[in-house]
Chain A
Amino acid sequence: MDILKKIFIALGSMDRRFIFLLVGFSVLLPKLYPDFFTLPIKASSHSERVFAEIDALENGAKVLVSFEYGPSTKPEIHPSAIALLNHLFSKDIKVYAVALWPDGNFMATEAFSAVAEKYGKQYGKDYVNLGYKPGGEAVVKGLASDIRTMYTVDLLGNELDEIIVMENVKNLLDFDFIFSLSAGYPGSKEWVQFACDPLGIPMSTGCTSIQVTDIIPYVENDQIKGILSGMPGAAEYEQLVRNTLSLRGIDVNPGKASINMAAQSMAHIVIVMLIILGNITYYLTRKSTKKGGVK
């Protein structure tokens, strides 16, 4: 028993760099050997809600997609963006991209170029990328009253009045749905506060994991219609889109989030085990310190 105790205490005091290595390997191994680490993905009610809301939109509906993330949070949110565009374009929905983050421009451009061609969608006719505007909530408020006060030209420099898809689009009330792909401020919260709640436009979000506890009260109160929580949320949505589109005769490749979920799960298992180990060691160390103190 004493040996076991010593082992636990020794493990508990191991160099933090070994823990980094352990977590690193737990991510790396499923990436290198994906066949050995396959885990099923089951959609949560929140992801199902997002899917149902988007799927219920009629053909030709107008959806505003806001890109509020950059390369640093791309692994968490970009898979949601790709799956969302697959879903929207498969239903012939018009997509309008804006960016509240400067890097959002790149993310939107990359997502459109990955998906649009497959569905034969044309820039300016089926979708448009309006680009980035600094100002956070002031931009959202501006879009709510008149888009043309915020944007005179799109990302490519075309005047808004010359873009076909911008016809009859004056402000946010002309959209059927808003989707916020958010990694922080300004993001989903600002869309809820300054667009969706005051104007009553339905909205969903795909956000980083760290934001989930801040956003979930809006979801529970139906201010936001469902949430894609980080990479797991993206993976669930990817599965739902893929399954549904394959039933409709459209073949979609497995998304990046679905592929990476095994690595994510393995890392979680390792971290949970380390937390348990840390607690056991803490308990044993505290007990022996107390005993020492009595002596």
Chain B
Amino acid sequence: MDYMEIFGVWLSVFLTLSIFSYLYKDNPFYKAAEHLYIGVSAGYVAVISFWQQIQPNLFGRLWPRIDGNAEMGILKSIWYSIYEFLNWLSTLGGWLDRSIFPENGIKGFDQISFIYIIPFILGIFMLLRLVPKLGWLARWAIAYIVGMAAGLRFYGFLNSDILMQVKAATVDFSGDWWSIFNGLILLVGTLSGLVYFFFSKEQSGIVGKVSKIGIYFLMIKFGASFGFAVMGRISLLIGRFDDLIISNSAENFHATMWITCIMILLLAIWAFLEKPNNGDAVS
């Protein structure tokens, strides 16, 4: 195992224990790890999204690979000169190597799809949010995203979550007694749960009683959700412990043991030094 690998193990142990240290209370270790996590996650998603979506699927469609020796029409030449200009910008005037805009276009597609100029412009509008005077243009891109997502999701929810689930709530009286009993419970639970969320009528009398039954069904659902949430969190804890145990091997110079000891010591010093400050703040 090389030193960089060992450094990686020590770093992962340090970050894991830093996050765990929140169980004691909010502290600088936790804050550092939290900020690092958010920064790295945002950076990673941005880079991956660019290289796996924007570069091949947007730029690749606008400027697909062409034969460098073939004759081009005047419009195409102008179009690819824009490409070269973008390359000039991205390489800081040729100072960096070509990467985003390779020579003679991006491989993957055969024909130029000019329709993709629209998402390209909307994407630029989105970034204009950083320019206060032109920030309003970002609303156009957001309006497109909201409209598209709402329309797209509407069908999916209507079909899979409403129509098919309503169908599933019907009782099949041709089945055995157990399935009929199950179906009836499901029907009562669905209807009473829906009545609980019906706010156009005061929940008293028969409506109140039915909605109370709905509450019990909802409580069972929340209980199950809580149980599953606990189970999931314990699984994640086991995963971290797994890594901490592996990191504590002699091969890794007992990273877990050393970092735990150092962190406890530093936290103790920090807690000791912090106390008077808290007292000052209160007084």
Question: Using an 8 Å CB-CB cutoff, how does the interface string of B43-68 with A read, 1 for contact, 0 for none?
Answer: 01100110011001100100000000
A263 CB contacts on chain B under 8 angstroms = 234, 238, 241
B76-103 with Cβ < 8 A to chain A: none
Tell whether, in the assembled complex, residue B152 and residue A264 are in contact, meaning their CB atoms are under 8 Å apart. Answer: no
Is A135 at the interface (CB under 8 A from chain B)? Answer: yes
Chain B contributes a number of interface residues (CB within 8 A of A) equal to: 45
Tell whether, in the assembled complex, residue B160 and residue A137 are in contact, meaning their CB atoms are under 8 Å apart. Answer: no
A159 CB contacts on chain B under 8 angstroms = 107-108
Tell whether, in the assembled complex, residue B165 and residue A31 are in contact, meaning their CB atoms are under 8 Å apart. Answer: no
Asked whether A210 and B229 contact (CB < 8 A) given A75-B235, A260-B242, A264-B235, the answer is yes
Tell whether, in the assembled complex, residue A73 and residue B236 are in contact, meaning their CB atoms are under 8 Å apart. Answer: yes
Complex Cα–Cα for A190 and B153 (A): 9
Tell whether, in the assembled complex, residue A134 and residue B232 are in contact, meaning their CB atoms are under 8 Å apart. Answer: no
**What total of A-B pairs shows CB separation below 8 Å?**
136
Asked whether A213 and B156 contact (CB < 8 A) given A193-B161, A231-B238, the answer is no
Is A202 at the interface (CB under 8 A from chain B)? Answer: no
A137 CB contacts on chain B under 8 angstroms = 149, 152-153, 156
Asked whether A193 and B156 contact (CB < 8 A) given A134-B49, A264-B235, the answer is yes
Is B117 at the interface (CB under 8 A from chain A)? Answer: no
Is B231 at the interface (CB under 8 A from chain A)? Answer: yes
Complex Cα–Cα for A218 and B153 (A): 17
Complex Cα–Cα for A212 and B241 (A): 24
Complex Cα–Cα for A78 and B76 (A): 48
Is B134 at the interface (CB under 8 A from chain A)? Answer: no
A176-197 with Cβ < 8 A to chain B: 190, 192-194, 197
Complex Cα–Cα for A245 and B229 (A): 32
Is A128 at the interface (CB under 8 A from chain B)? Answer: no
Is B265 at the interface (CB under 8 A from chain A)? Answer: no
Question: Using an 8 Å CB-CB cutoff, how does the interface string of A220-251 with B read, 1 for contact, 0 for none?
Answer: 11010000011110000000000000000000
Is A132 at the interface (CB under 8 A from chain B)? Answer: yes
Is B168 at the interface (CB under 8 A from chain A)? Answer: yes
Asked whether A28 and B241 contact (CB < 8 A) given A131-B52, A135-B53, A138-B152, the answer is yes
Tell whether, in the assembled complex, residue B241 and residue A27 are in contact, meaning their CB atoms are under 8 Å apart. Answer: yes
A213 CB contacts on chain B under 8 angstroms = 221, 224-225, 228
Tell whether, in the assembled complex, residue B44 and residue A75 are in contact, meaning their CB atoms are under 8 Å apart. Answer: no
A153 CB contacts on chain B under 8 angstroms = 56, 107-108
B128-169 with Cβ < 8 A to chain A: 148-149, 152-153, 156-157, 159-161, 164-165, 167-168
Tell whether, in the assembled complex, residue A133 and residue B53 are in contact, meaning their CB atoms are under 8 Å apart. Answer: yes
Complex Cα–Cα for A220 and B164 (A): 11
Q: How far is the CB of A126 from chain B (nearest CB, A)?
A: 23
Complex Cα–Cα for A135 and B53 (A): 9
Is A20 at the interface (CB under 8 A from chain B)? Answer: yes
Complex Cα–Cα for A131 and B56 (A): 13
B230 CB contacts on chain A under 8 angstroms = 268, 271
Asked whether A221 and B165 contact (CB < 8 A) given A73-B236, A230-B228, the answer is yes
Asked whether A76 and B235 contact (CB < 8 A) given A17-B24, A135-B53, A150-B57, the answer is yes
B109-123 with Cβ < 8 A to chain A: 109
Is A108 at the interface (CB under 8 A from chain B)? Answer: no
Tell whether, in the assembled complex, residue A212 and residue B228 are in contact, meaning their CB atoms are under 8 Å apart. Answer: yes
Tell me the nearest residue of chain A to B157, going by C-beta: A193
Q: How far is the CB of B48 from chain A (nearest CB, A)?
A: 4
A31 CB contacts on chain B under 8 angstroms = 238, 241-242, 245
Tell whether, in the assembled complex, residue B23 and residue A133 are in contact, meaning their CB atoms are under 8 Å apart. Answer: no
Complex Cα–Cα for A212 and B232 (A): 10
Is A86 at the interface (CB under 8 A from chain B)? Answer: no
Q: How far is the CB of B166 from chain A (nearest CB, A)?
A: 10
Is A217 at the interface (CB under 8 A from chain B)? Answer: yes
Is A258 at the interface (CB under 8 A from chain B)? Answer: no
Tell whether, in the assembled complex, residue B45 and residue A232 are in contact, meaning their CB atoms are under 8 Å apart. Answer: no
Question: Using an 8 Å CB-CB cutoff, how does the interface string of A27-62 with B read, 1 for contact, 0 for none?
Answer: 110011000000000000000000000000000000
Is B237 at the interface (CB under 8 A from chain A)? Answer: yes
18 contacting pairs across A/B (C-beta < 8 A): A17-B24, A27-B237, A27-B241, A75-B235, A76-B232, A132-B52, A133-B52, A134-B53, A137-B149, A150-B57, A152-B56, A198-B159, A218-B160, A229-B228, A256-B242, A260-B238, A267-B238, A268-B231
Interface residues of A (CB under 8 A from B): 17, 20, 23-24, 27-28, 31-32, 72-76, 102-103, 105, 131-135, 137-138, 141, 150, 152-153, 159, 190, 192-194, 197-198, 208-213, 217-218, 220-221, 223, 229-232, 256, 260, 263-264, 267-268, 271
Interface residues of B (CB under 8 A from A): 23-24, 44-45, 48-49, 52-53, 56-57, 60, 107-109, 148-149, 152-153, 156-157, 159-161, 164-165, 167-168, 221, 224-225, 228-232, 234-242, 245
- Pairs of residues from A and B, 7 with the lowest C-beta to C-beta distance, nearest first: A75-B239, A152-B108, A193-B156, A209-B232, A221-B168, A231-B235, A209-B231
Give me 8 other A-B pairs in contact (C-beta within 8 A), A27-B234, A197-B156 excluded. A23-B237, A133-B52, A137-B149, A159-B108, A208-B232, A221-B168, A230-B232, A271-B234
